[in-house]
């Protein structure tokens, strides 16, 4: 096992600045709900009763996810603008990271981290910086300067579908969808922490040009996916978003045993030589790639995820 990987795993789940994470997630939820409400008002196929049900659902979703209900001016802005953005001060990086950076790189490097900012963009139209990657199109992170972009049109559940579900007052299902998208936001924010902190402590861990492993005899698309998921740079961010994804599955299947759902999600119940024949429903592509192409990382990922959710 390479020493860089050993160091990387010692980080466990990379810790996010709590205030920054909460502020960015609240900002995303607010503008997502604003766009949903504006889209509902612009949809001539919806009846008045449907609109009333959607607005009531959106109010409940805002409260559940710690956001304010969008004001009319912002609902209009979401419908007429290509995107909105805000620069967030980092402020509260975990003390252990700051202490280690000060020890390894000096006080000046620590001061730079304390003064860092992250630009967060919520795009209401397809964004060229996100759409250029057709494989993972929901969000993207750029290191210089630090910028996170999340694209609403590229979410797995499209807005027209969301509105139809909300019109039936099934806001729990949409809440799970929001939670999964918040996992995408956390994924990109984890990349921001990698870029700001981890490369200072052991720089080889933050190398976008270093790929992971791919199992032999795989189709090109599957081999590319495995190289992405098993790379050092994607390990912690994808594990972070897996936490929300799995908790959503728990919420959706409350009558089932959590350990059974966990085993299925992580491919713990599938032998390595039979993994390609497994049913994908309720399973994670990330853990599938890890198990068949990098068993060491798969074992570590299973352990870290279990500590978070079980």
Q: Give residue-wise pLDDT tens across range 63-89.
A: 999 999 999 999 999 999 999 999 999
Both 159 and 242 in one domain: the answer is no
Helix residue ranges per DSSP H, 168-230: 171-193, 199-201, 220-229
The per-residue pLDDT for range 149-199, each reduced to its tens digit, is: 999 998 888 999 999 999 998 889 899 989 988 999 999 999 999 899 888
Question: What pLDDT band is residue 6 in, cutting at 50, 70 and 90?
Answer: very low
Both 100 and 233 in one domain: the answer is no
Residues above pLDDT 70, as percent of the chain: 93
Both 106 and 157 in one domain: the answer is yes
Three-state SS string over 8-41 comes to HHHCCCCCCCHHHHHHHHHHHHHHHHHHHHHHHH
* pLDDT higher than threshold 80 for residue 1: no
Q: What is the pLDDT of residue 10?
A: 52
Both 160 and 216 in one domain: the answer is no
Range of the domain at 159: 18-199
Instruction: Report the 10 Å Cβ neighbour count for 158.
Output: 11
Cβ contact 260:198 at 8 Å:
no
Which secondary structure element, helix H or strand E, spans residue 61, and what is its range? helix 48-64
The per-residue pLDDT for range 22-49, each reduced to its tens digit, is: 999 999 999 999 999 999 999 999 999 9
Q: Assign 84 to helix, strand or coil.
A: strand
Question: What pLDDT band is residue 221 in, cutting at 50, 70 and 90?
Answer: confident
Pairing of strands 147-151, 139-142: antiparallel
Instruction: Report the 10 Å Cβ neighbour count for 95.
Output: 9
Residue 97 lies in a domain: yes
Both 160 and 49 in one domain: the answer is yes
Residue 289 lies in a domain: yes
Q: What is the pLDDT of residue 134?
A: 57
Choosing from 199, 217, 233, the residue where a domain stops is 199
Which pair of tokens denotes residue 127?
A: 């964004």
Cβ contact 46:167 at 8 Å:
yes
Both 81 and 158 in one domain: the answer is yes
Both 234 and 274 in one domain: the answer is yes
Considering its fold, how many domains does the chain have in total? 2
Choosing from 172, 199, 226, the residue where a domain stops is 199
Both 120 and 225 in one domain: the answer is no
Choosing from 166, 199, 232, the residue where a domain stops is 199
Residue 5 lies in a domain: no
Q: Does 304 or 5 have the greater pLDDT score? A: 304
């Amino acid at each position: 096992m390479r020493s860089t990987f050993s160091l990387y795993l010692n980080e466990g789940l990379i810790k996010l600045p709590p205030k920054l994470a909460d502020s960015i997630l609240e900002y995303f939820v607010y503008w997502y709900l604003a766009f949903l409400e504006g889209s509902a008002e612009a949809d001539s196929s919806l009846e008045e009763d449907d609109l009333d049900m959607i607005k009531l659902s959106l109010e409940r979703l805002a409260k559940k996810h710690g956001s304010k209900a969008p004001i009319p001016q912002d609902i209009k802005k979401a419908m007429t603008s290509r995107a909105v953005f805000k620069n967030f001060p980092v402020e509260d990086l975990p003390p252990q990271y700051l202490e280690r950076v000060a020890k390894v790189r000096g006080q000046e490097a620590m001061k730079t981290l304390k003064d860092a900012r992250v630009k967060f963009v919520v795009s209401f139209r397809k964004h060229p910086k996100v759409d250029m990657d057709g494989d993972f199109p929901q969000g993207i992170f750029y290191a210089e300067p630090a910028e996170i972009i999340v694209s609403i049109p590229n979410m797995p559940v499209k807005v027209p579908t969301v509105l139809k579900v909300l019109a039936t007052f099934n806001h729990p299902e949409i809440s799970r969808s929001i939670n999964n998208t918040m996992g995408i936001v956390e994924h990109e924010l984890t990349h921001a922490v990698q870029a700001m902190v981890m490369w200072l402590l052991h720089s080889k861990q933050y190398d976008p040009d270093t790929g992971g492993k791919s199992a032999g005899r795989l189709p090109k698309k599957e081999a590319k996916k495995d190289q992405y998921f098993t790379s050092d740079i994607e390990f912690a961010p994808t594990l972070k978003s897996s936490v929300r994804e799995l908790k959503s599955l728990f919420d959706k299947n409350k009558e089932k045993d959590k350990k059974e759902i966990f085993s299925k999600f992580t491919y713990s119940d599938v032998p390595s030589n039979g993994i390609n024949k497994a049913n994908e429903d309720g399973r994670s592509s990330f853990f599938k790639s890890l198990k068949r192409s990098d068993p060491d990382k798969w074992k570590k990922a299973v352990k870290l995820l279990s500590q978070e959710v079980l």
